[in-house]
Amino acid sequence: METVAHHLATTLKQLRHARGWSLSHAAAQTGVSKAMLGQIERGESSPTIATLWKIATGFNVAFSALITTVENSPPHFAQPGAAMSATTLFAWQAELGMEMLKVTLAARAHSVSTAHEKGVIEQIVVIAGELEVTLARTSQRLRAGDTFQFQADVAHAYTNIGEETVVFHNLIHYPRPIAQ
């Protein structure tokens, strides 16, 4: 059975080789250090979700492509003790141009996401807790049952503003075909 870490290592190496990129070029494209990319490829490091987003954006692939394995359904990614985890609800679907994640954020946790490709739209549905989504200098506070849609091609952050765990669904729409 393939683990998520092994799948990630293999997928990252395949993506890089398919593009003919060196580790240095991949680091420049993703904003993730050459050392960290090498450690991930060798299965020596478990990256944060923020790091995975940088890799997905830099390689122009769906987030779920990095963590989804055939045996691991639904795929779940979290570092031990991490404040944020993600489970793929619907892996990348080219015909729909979307993927859907269930994201969990611990009490008072904060996670920053770099800008995605131009035209990427995120739709948030809060299932439990209180979430604040920050875009540039504006923020939107959301509670269970609230929804929010935004252009994700700018840096954005998620903050759990409550004492209970926040759970939200994140539907991500890509404006053009992305790599599988």
Please report how the helices 34-41 and 4-19 are oriented relative to each other, as an axis angle in degrees rounded to 10: 120
Q: Hey, where are the domains in the chain? A: 4-67, 76-173
| pLDDT for residue 100 | 94
Maximum distance among all Cα pairs of the chain, rounded to whole angstroms? 46
| pLDDT for residue 179 | 57
| pLDDT for residue 13 | 93
Q: Provide the CATH topology of domain 76-173.
A: Jelly Rolls (2.60.120)
| pLDDT for residue 132 | 98
Ranges under pLDDT 50 in the chain: 72
| pLDDT for residue 165 | 96
| pLDDT for residue 107 | 95
The CATH architecture annotation of domain 4-67 reads Orthogonal Bundle (1.10)
| pLDDT for residue 142 | 98
